[in-house]
Amino acid sequence: MHIAIISPGPFSVPPVKGSSVEHDIDEVSKVFGPNHRITIYTRTCPEYSGSSSEENREFIRFPYKGPKPYLEGVISELQKNSKPDVILVENRPHYVLTLRRHFPTTPIVVNMHSHVYASEGIISPEKMQHASRLADGFITNSEYLRRYFIEHHKIPEHKVHTVHLGVDVMPYQLAKINFSVRKLRRQLGLKSHHRVLLYAGRLMREKGVHVLMKAFRKISEKDPDARLVIVGGTGYGRNRLNSYVKRLHELAKPLGNKVHFVDFVPSAQMPLWYQIGDIVATPSLWQEPFCRVNLEAMASGKPVISTPRGGIAEVVQHQSSGFLIPPAEWSSQLPLVWEVLWKIPFLRMDMGRKALLRAKQFSWYATAQGYLQVFASVMEKRGQRQPYIQKIS
């Protein structure tokens, strides 16, 4: 099968700045298998200045100067290359409107990583409905997100398929024996007796970092050895000191050296940082479609404390691989959970073990197989109906 993958455009594949969609494209495309030819359309950047090939993957790159010229470049390159069996559009449903005019018979699948780029601020409801009709299928990374597209955008159930994301457990387990972890702890002034709560992710209100800090303040009042390490910037590769980050620093001031801020860390280095923490917290306020950080933390063998928002509960099992606490209850419940996990060491270790076992159920191989099943299904259905014909303006 020849699979053409169209990345959104603003970031490169493979990712340099830790961008999540591009990370997922890179990981899943590695494991489609040698019987499939993969062409990935993405942008140039200083690290990747031109097109390249890697085993059965070809990266076709050109400058990104906005979505319209980017998509025009993709279409031009697609027309030059041999016709793909299926086109996978990553997280940009409005690309389908133009692609279908140029490729009336080619199966097109849209991989939605969240609801953001299907929202009214990005694409009108009318255009989203049109894109839904033109696309042969949609992939979502959680059942929560699947139900959202079915109910909110009225996409027929048979068109929307849940395929969970994966994780490669090996780098996170190898990090346990990496001496660099000790070096990082020393750099942060962490001692062997310190109990570390780790947050990893973007610093934005929707991620609930302020909720975590308020709850941690109560933890620190009872536990002098508790430490909070916050890893991340305002965006992928960005560390701006915006109003929200300033607020976080203000909240941290009364806690002194009990709170440590660490700027954006590239994805390849994150396995080491997860090993710094004893427990990982993701206090999401918004309806997280999946929350990959939870899966990475679990691959590191760490108990996760998160919220039951969006698709999180499809990954983190409450009172097994971690705890799911509603955001409004973090201030009262997090200190209690923290106390229990340290009073009963076996419980913390058992949760870490169960977290690792749970993470192993989410492999990139399983994700790739799920995608291939969707592709095969839409190809079969496309062969059974008349091609969509539209005059190219």
H or E element, residue 252:
helix 243-252
pLDDT confidence of residue 393:
34
142: Cα within 13 Å, side-chain hemisphere: 20
The answer to whether residue 392 scores a pLDDT higher than 50 is: no
Strands 57-62 and 37-43: parallel
For the chain, give the percent of residues with pLDDT over 70.
97
Backbone angles phi, psi at 132, to 5 degrees: -65, -35
Q: What is the dihedral of CA 122, 126, 130, 133, to 10 degrees?
A: 110
Closest CA to 278 of 159, 194, 372, 354: 194
pLDDT confidence of residue 236:
78
Per residue in 213-258, pLDDT (tens digit) is 999 999 999 999 999 999 999 887 778 889 999 999 999 999 999 9
CB 32 within 8 A of CB 368: yes
CA-CA distances (angstroms) from residue 351 to 245, 302, 356? 32, 7, 9
Backbone angles phi, psi at 230, to 5 degrees: -115, 115
The Cα–Cα gap between 327 and 160 comes to 29
- And the tokens for 185? 């702890």
pLDDT confidence of residue 354:
98
The pLDDT confidence band at residue 390, using thresholds 50, 70 and 90, is: very low
Q: What average pLDDT does this structure show over 161-170?
A: 98
2-166+364-382 and 169-359, same CATH topology? yes
pLDDT confidence of residue 383:
80
CB 327 within 8 A of CB 212: no
SS3 251: helix
Place of tokens 């959680």: 142
pLDDT confidence of residue 254:
96
Q: Look up the CATH superfamily of 169-359.
A: Glycogen Phosphorylase B; (3.40.50.2000)
Which region, left, alpha or beta, applies to residue 237 given φ > 0 means left and ψ of -120 to 50 means alpha? left
Q: Look up the CATH superfamily of 2-166+364-382.
A: Glycogen Phosphorylase B; (3.40.50.2000)
Beta-carbon count within 10 A of 164 CB: 19
CB 359 within 8 A of CB 295: yes
Contacts of 365 (CB under 8 A, 6+ apart): 31, 166
CB 367 within 8 A of CB 165: yes
Name which of 162-166, 194-198, 379-383 the model is least confident about. 379-383
The answer to whether residue 391 scores a pLDDT higher than 50 is: no
Domain spans of the chain? 2-166+364-382, 169-359
pLDDT confidence of residue 384:
62
Per residue in 16-57, pLDDT (tens digit) is 887 899 999 999 999 999 999 999 999 999 999 999 999 899
Place of tokens 């109560």: 218
Per residue in 58-72, pLDDT (tens digit) is 999 999 999 999 999
The pLDDT confidence band at residue 382, using thresholds 50, 70 and 90, is: confident
Model pTM? 0.93
Per residue in 264-323, pLDDT (tens digit) is 998 899 999 999 999 999 999 999 999 999 999 999 999 999 999 999 999 999 999 999
The pLDDT confidence band at residue 147, using thresholds 50, 70 and 90, is: very high
pLDDT confidence of residue 385:
59
- And the tokens for 200? 């990893």
Q: What average pLDDT does this structure show over 134-154?
A: 98
The answer to whether residue 178 scores a pLDDT higher than 70 is: yes
The Cα–Cα gap between 107 and 241 comes to 44
pLDDT confidence of residue 322:
97
